[in-house]
């Protein structure tokens, strides 16, 4: 140590040690603690949450009531009646329970109405298809007999319908069903091949093979004409034949 150096002996090690102690003290000191909510604050918070839940429930209730009115009008147009919801308020006092029962009822009626609509649509398609097939069969008979002038299919309806079937019905099995439905009493096959562009006298085996399909076990036995014993797979084969 020189005369010009005012630092006492050992000051070089004292300063870093003091800094180290200070840093350790600052790290060990915890930050400011959050004050716990009082009981009054908890009650106010819960009341606010309940008020918001009631508001959301009321909005959803209005939407459910609007859907109920829509279902009521839609069912009335087809002669159906929907159940009532007036008894809910009379039977239940709890607003939450009333809301849950109302929601369950309307959702159930909505699901039943959707099923009814699909059934009605399917029935409508069957009715329209049956009417078209009946008209087509009449046209085939008229074309075979000829009109007063002796010309077959003078207005071209028969050719147009068969062209439509040839364009729209693509599956081999579906075309075979149409041919059977339109077959005349004398066994004449209508002018519809089993596949587009195929010959009129093509067998179902050749038609299926041409499109990359094959006969099911039930079809193989039916085409072969042989007898077979009933087994557990017969129902499965029949289901595959009807719904390939």
Q: What are phi and psi of 30, to 5 degrees?
A: -70, 155
Is 155 part of any domain?
A: no
Is 192 part of any domain?
A: yes
Per-residue pLDDT of the chain (244 residues), as tens digits, is 444 455 455 444 444 554 454 555 555 555 556 667 777 777 777 777 767 878 888 889 999 999 999 999 999 988 888 888 988 888 888 888 999 999 999 999 999 999 999 999 999 988 988 887 777 777 666 665 655 555 555 556 777 878 888 888 888 888 888 888 777 656 677 788 888 888 888 888 888 888 887 766 666 666 565 544 444 444 444 344 344 4
Greatest C-alpha distance within the chain? 144
Other Cβ atoms within 10 Å of 103 Cβ, number: 16
Q: Record the pTM.
A: 0.50
Distance of CA 229 to the CA centre of its chain: 40
Report the alpha-carbon distance of residue 107 to residue 68 in Å, rounded.
9
Reported as type and span, the H/E element at residue 140 is: helix 95-145
Is 56 part of any domain?
A: no
- pLDDT number for residue 17: 54
Q: What are phi and psi of 80, to 5 degrees?
A: -105, 155
C-alpha R_g of the chain: 42
Is 109 part of any domain?
A: no
Work out the angle between the directed axes of helices 172-182 and 95-145 (0-180°, nearest 10). Answer: 60
Is 16 part of any domain?
A: no
Q: How far is CA 144 from CA 135, 178, 201, in A?
A: 14, 18, 19
Is 190 part of any domain?
A: yes
Identify the domain containing residue 177 by its residue range: 172-228+236-244
How many domains does one find in the chain?
1
Is 120 part of any domain?
A: no
Is 27 part of any domain?
A: no
């Amino acid at each position: 140590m020189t005369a010009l150096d005012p630092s006492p002996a050992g000051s070089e090690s004292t300063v870093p040690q003091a800094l180290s102690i200070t840093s350790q003290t600052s790290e060990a000191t915890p930050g400011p603690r959050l004050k716990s909510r009082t009981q009054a604050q908890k009650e106010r918070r819960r009341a606010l949450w309940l008020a918001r839940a009631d508001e959301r429930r009321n909005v959803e209730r209005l939407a459910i009531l609007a859907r109920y009115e829509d279902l009521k009008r839609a069912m009335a147009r087809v002669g159906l009646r929907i159940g009532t919801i007036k008894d809910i308020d009379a039977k239940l006092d709890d607003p939450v329970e009333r809301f849950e029962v109302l929601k369950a009822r309307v959702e159930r009626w909505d699901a039943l109405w959707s099923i009814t609509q699909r059934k009605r649509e399917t029935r409508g398609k069957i009715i329209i298809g049956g009417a078209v097939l009946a008209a087509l069969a009449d046209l085939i008979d008229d074309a075979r007999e000829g009109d007063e002038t002796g010309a077959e299919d003078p207005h071209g309806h028969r050719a147009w319908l068969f062209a439509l079937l040839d364009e729209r019905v693509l599956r081999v099995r579906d075309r075979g069903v149409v041919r059977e439905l339109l077959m005349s009493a004398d066994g004449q096959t209508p002018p519809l091949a089993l596949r587009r562009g195929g010959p009129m006298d093509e067998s179902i085996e050749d038609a299926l093979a041409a499109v990359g399909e094959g006969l099911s076990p039930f079809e193989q036995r039916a085409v072969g004409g042989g007898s077979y014993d009933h087994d557990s797979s017969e129902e499965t084969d029949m289901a595959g034949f009807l719904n390939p």
